[in-house]
């Protein structure tokens, strides 16, 4: 019995990482610097006024399902509607100095509401009814989507045991690919196009104990572990923001627009 208690204590002490996550002990993580976010914020403003753009859709084109072992999953690996991420990135890049985004994702609802307003004004005000202001048009359409989700591009791990006690670590790497392009409404020409990849990591750490005694007639086994999966939705958000930054740089290279101040040379 004393041996079993001692082995159980060893497992609990080795699994302090799990206890930290569950709140049994203090866990004070340090926030790592997000270099991508810094570039997203400090990219130089354009020389002219804001560029009016439209986003009709930005969807998952992969059809990839979640990778669940031994289960036929019907859940998708990534979001089916990433338009909010793209719209938010376009409105916030460079502290909001680059793009004005007009509503096109649910443009039918917008048109219906404007029709209702017009009918009500005509009914109550007659010929004196004030017309609605014309809808703002966009000079550029932002097209693209999630074009790739590759499961387990790389996986591996390591483990060791000493007297039946030891830790084990495993990891897996997935890759998300985002495509984004700017299309001229006037000519239909693709002004700039970029593709961006984002790595999604999953890790699993565990500690196991296996002891035999009594000439192999008695045994004790215990295991504790923790699995961390990077959220796929946040990975899509980060990839979309990176794609917006790269598209701005690509457009500047092709003289679609110019920076107010040049980017610092690395």
Asked if residue 21 belongs to a domain, the reply is: no
Structural domain that includes position 176: 35-106+138-253
CATH of the domain at 87: 3.40.50.10610
Q: What is the pLDDT of residues 70-129, one digit of tens each?
A: 555 555 667 778 899 999 999 999 899 999 999 999 899 999 999 999 999 888 888 888
Average pLDDT, the chain: 79
Asked if residue 235 belongs to a domain, the reply is: yes
Asked if residue 123 belongs to a domain, the reply is: no
Asked if residue 191 belongs to a domain, the reply is: yes
Q: Which is nearest to 257 in space by CA: 30, 50, 56?
A: 50
Q: What is the pLDDT of residues 3-39, one digit of tens each?
A: 544 444 444 444 444 444 444 444 444 544 555 557 8
Asked if residue 241 belongs to a domain, the reply is: yes
Asked if residue 246 belongs to a domain, the reply is: yes
Asked if residue 12 belongs to a domain, the reply is: no
pTM: 0.74
Q: Please state the rounded mean pLDDT for residues 220-246.
A: 85
Q: Would the pLDDT of 193 be above 60?
A: yes
Asked if residue 29 belongs to a domain, the reply is: no
Helical ranges in the chain per DSSP H: 2-14, 16-22, 35-42, 83-96, 107-125, 232-253
Contact present, 54 and 102 (Cβ < 8 Å): yes
Domain count across the chain: 1
What pLDDT, on the 0 to 100 scale, is given for residue 16? 46
Cα within 13 Å of Cα(102), Cβ side: 17
């Amino acid at each position: 019995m004393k041996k079993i208690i001692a082995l159980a204590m060893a497992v609990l002490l080795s699994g302090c990482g799990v206890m930290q996550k569950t709140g049994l002990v203090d866990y004070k993580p340090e926030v790592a610097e997000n270099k991508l976010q810094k570039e997203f914020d400090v990219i130089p403003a354009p020389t002219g006024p804001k560029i009016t753009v439209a986003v009709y859709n930005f969807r998952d084109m992969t059809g990839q399902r979640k990778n669940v072992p031994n289960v036929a999953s019907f859940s998708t690996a990534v979001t089916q509607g990433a338009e909010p991420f793209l719209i938010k990135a376009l409105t916030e890049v460079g502290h909001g100095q680059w793009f004005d985004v007009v509503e096109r994702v649910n443009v039918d609802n917008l048109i219906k509401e404007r029709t209702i307003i017009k009918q009500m004004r005509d009914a109550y005000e007659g010929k004196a009814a004030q017309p609605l202001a014309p809808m703002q048009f966009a000079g550029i359409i932002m097209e693209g989507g999630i074009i790739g989700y590759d499961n387990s591009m790389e996986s591996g791990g390591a483990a060791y045991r000493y007297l039946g006690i030891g830790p084990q670590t495993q990891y897996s790497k997935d890759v998300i690919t985002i495509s984004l392009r700017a299309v001229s409404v006037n000519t239909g020409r693709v002004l700039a196009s970029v593709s961006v990849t984002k790595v999604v990591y999953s890790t699993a750490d565990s500690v196991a104990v296996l002891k035999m005694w009594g000439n192999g007639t008695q045994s004790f086994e215990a295991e504790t572990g923790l699995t961390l999966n990077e959220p796929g939705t946040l990975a899509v958000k980060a990839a979309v923001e990176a794609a917006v930054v790269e598209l701005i740089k690509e457009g500047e290279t092709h003289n679609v627009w110019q920076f107010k101040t040049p980017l610092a040379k690395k």
